[in-house]
Amino acid sequence: MENGKKSSPIAWVLGQTGDHGSEYVRSVILAVIGVTFSVAPYVVVTDVVRALMTGNRSLQFYLGRCALMAVFWVCRVLCHACSTAASHKATFAVLGEIRKRCTEKLARMPLGAVLEQSSGALKNVLIERIDSIETTLAHIVPEFTANFLIPVIILIVIFTIDWRMGLASIATVPLGLSCYIFMMAGSAKFYEHTVTATKALNDTAVEYISGIQVIKVFGKTQSSYDRFVHDANEAASSFF
């Protein structure tokens, strides 16, 4: 699975979609349509507010606007459900294919290289770490892409109302980026330490729980438990 080139984790994950790319495209399109329907009721509300301010007392007008907002909301829910279903269907197929490729590679690896890894580490990779990809593919890909449109649409609406309000809204972006850069400065080494400590804890926990019967039979309960406690303390301290 290594291609000899360094790439970001997100790029690697997206590269594993294979023949399921069209399903993710459909999921993103449905999510975008759903976001559009979620913004539309607020546009209708502006008509309601404008009518109230002008003294419009037509009950039929307000009932019609409320019905229109309800239709938009139902369409939003349906689009979101269809988008989520499409992304999850594709994601579970992708995860199955990744596990299959991992096990096929594991069968081809030298026995010595396999024995260097603990059973907990192998089980953690094949189950837990591959499962963690599900959030990125099934949720972040369609939802982040679609939800990114919300601030863009709102900004466009603000500019159509008053360009000065639009400029005032944009003025906060550099301040937010400066705060984010200041917050993330020097965090790389702490993040790397946290990931390493958490991975060691996960490997030890899986190995300890899965082999508890063997550990008891061979009288390794105390040493195995001490290793588990040590890794747990290391993982906990990495967050401080």
Query: Is residue 124 a contact partner of residue 203, using CB atoms and an 8 Å limit?
Result: yes
Is residue 34 exposed (0-12), middle (13-18) or buried (19+ Cβ within 10 Å)?
buried
pLDDT in tens, 153-168: 788 888 888 888 888 8
Domain ranges of the chain: 16-147, 186-240
How confident is the model over 105-110, as a mean pLDDT? Answer: 84
Q: What is the pLDDT of residues 61-77, one digit of tens each?
A: 999 999 999 999 999 99
- Of residues 123 and 53, the one with the higher pLDDT is 53
Mean pLDDT is lowest, of 4-8, 18-22, 49-53, 80-84, for: 4-8
Q: Answer yes or no: is pLDDT of 228 > 50.
A: yes
Average pLDDT over residues 54-58: 87
What is the pLDDT at residue 4?
Answer: 45
Q: Residue 2 has what pLDDT?
A: 45
pLDDT digits (tens, 9 = 90+) for 20-52: 888 888 998 999 899 889 888 988 998 899 899
Q: Residue ranges of the alpha helices (H) in 109-162?
A: 111-115, 119-123, 130-131, 133-135, 145-147, 149-161
**146 within 8 A of 39, measured Cβ to Cβ:** no
Identify residue 92 by its one-letter amino acid code: F
pLDDT digits (tens, 9 = 90+) for 160-208: 888 888 888 888 888 888 888 887 777 777 777 787 888 787 777 777 7
Q: Which CATH superfamily is domain 16-147 in?
A: ABC transporter type 1, transmembrane domain (1.20.1560.10)
> Quick one: pLDDT band at residue 82, thresholds 50, 70, 90?
very high
pTM (global) more than 0.85:
no
What pLDDT is recorded for position 8?
A: 62
Q: Are 22 and 137 in contact (CB under 8 A)?
A: no
Residue 74's pLDDT is what? 95
pLDDT at 10 over 70: no
For residue 80, count CB atoms less than 10 angstroms from its CB and return exposed for 0-12, middle for 13-18, buried for 19 or more.
Answer: buried
Could you tell me the sign of the dihedral formed by the alpha carbons of 207, 209, 213, 219, in that order? positive
Q: What is the pLDDT of residue 1?
A: 44
Say if CB 89 and CB 139 are below 8 A apart.
Answer: no
Percent of the chain with pLDDT over 70: 87
